[in-house]
Amino acid sequence: PSSIREELLAVFNNEKETYISGQMLSEKLNCTRTAIWKHIEELRNEGYVIEAVQKRGYRMTGRPDKLSSDVVKRNLTTNKIGQNIHFYETTPSTQRIAHLLAQQGKPEGTVVFAEEQTEGKGRLDRSWHSPVGAGIWMSIILRPNLPPQHAPQLTLLAAVAIVRAIESELNITCEIKWPNDILINGKKAVGILTELHAEADRINSVIVGIGINVNTTKEEFPSELQHLATSLSLEKGGDKIDRASLARVIFESLEEMYEKYLEHGFTFIKLLWESYSVSIGKQIIARTISGEIRGYARGITDEGVLMIEESDGKIQYIHSADIEL
Ligand code: BT5
pLDDT band at 2 (very low <50, low <70, confident <90, very high): low
pLDDT reading at 65 higher than 80: no
Minimum-distance ligand 1 atom for the alpha carbon of 123: 19
**pLDDT exceeds cutoff 50 at 1:** no
With a pLDDT cut of 90, the percent of the chain lying above it is: 79
d(CA 324, ligand 1 centre) in Å? 16
Rounded alpha-carbon distances, angstroms, from residue 55 to 6, 19, 240? 24, 10, 36
Residue range 120-130: average pLDDT? 95
285: pLDDT strictly greater than 60: yes
Number of H helices, E strands in the chain: 9, 14
- pLDDT tens-place string over residues 299-318: 999 888 999 999 999 999 99
For domain 69-276, the CATH superfamily is Bira Bifunctional Protein; Domain 2 (3.30.930.10)
pLDDT value at position 138?
A: 98
Measure 95 CA to ligand 1 centroid, in angstroms: 12
- More confident position, 7 or 251: 251
Question: Quick count: other Cβ atoms within 10 Å of Cβ 209?
Answer: 27
Mutate which of 88, 126, 128 for ligand 1 pocket (most atoms within 8 A of beta carbon): 128
What is the residue-averaged pLDDT of the chain? 93
CB 166 within 8 A of CB 134: no
Does the Cβ of 113 fall within 6 Å of ligand 1? Answer: no
Of all protein residues, the one whose alpha carbon is nearest to atom 20 of ligand 1 is: 122
> Which value does ipTM take for this structure?
0.99
The answer, yes or no, to whether residue 135 has pLDDT greater than 90, is yes
Judged by average pLDDT, the poorest of 72-76, 98-102, 140-144 is 72-76
Question: What's this model's pTM, rounded to 2 decimal places?
Answer: 0.84
The one-character DSSP state at 255 is H
pLDDT 10s digits, 175-218: 999 988 999 999 999 999 999 999 889 999 999 999 999 999 99
pLDDT at 16: 77
Output the CA–CA distances (angstroms, integers) from residue 257 to 111, 162, 169, in the order listed: 17, 10, 16
Q: Is residue 70 predicted with pLDDT exceeding 80?
A: no
Residues 6+ apart with CB under 8 A from 157: 254, 257, 258, 261, 266, 269
Share of the chain above pLDDT 70, in %: 99
Q: What is the CATH number of domain 2-62?
A: 1.10.10.10
Query: What pLDDT is recorded for position 13?
Result: 81
Q: Is the pLDDT confidence value at 19 over 80? A: yes
Class of domain 283-324 as given by CATH: mainly beta
Q: What is the DSSP string of 148-217?
A: GGGHHHHHHHHHHHHHHHHHHHH----EEETTTEEEETTEEEEEEEEEEEE-SSSEEEEEEEEEEESS--
CB 94 within 8 A of CB 88: yes
- Cβ neighbours around 206 below 10 Å, total: 25
CA of 179 from ligand 1 middle (Å) equals: 13
Q: What are the residue ranges spanned by the domains of the chain?
A: 2-62, 69-276, 283-324
Nearest CA to ligand 1 atom 28: 128
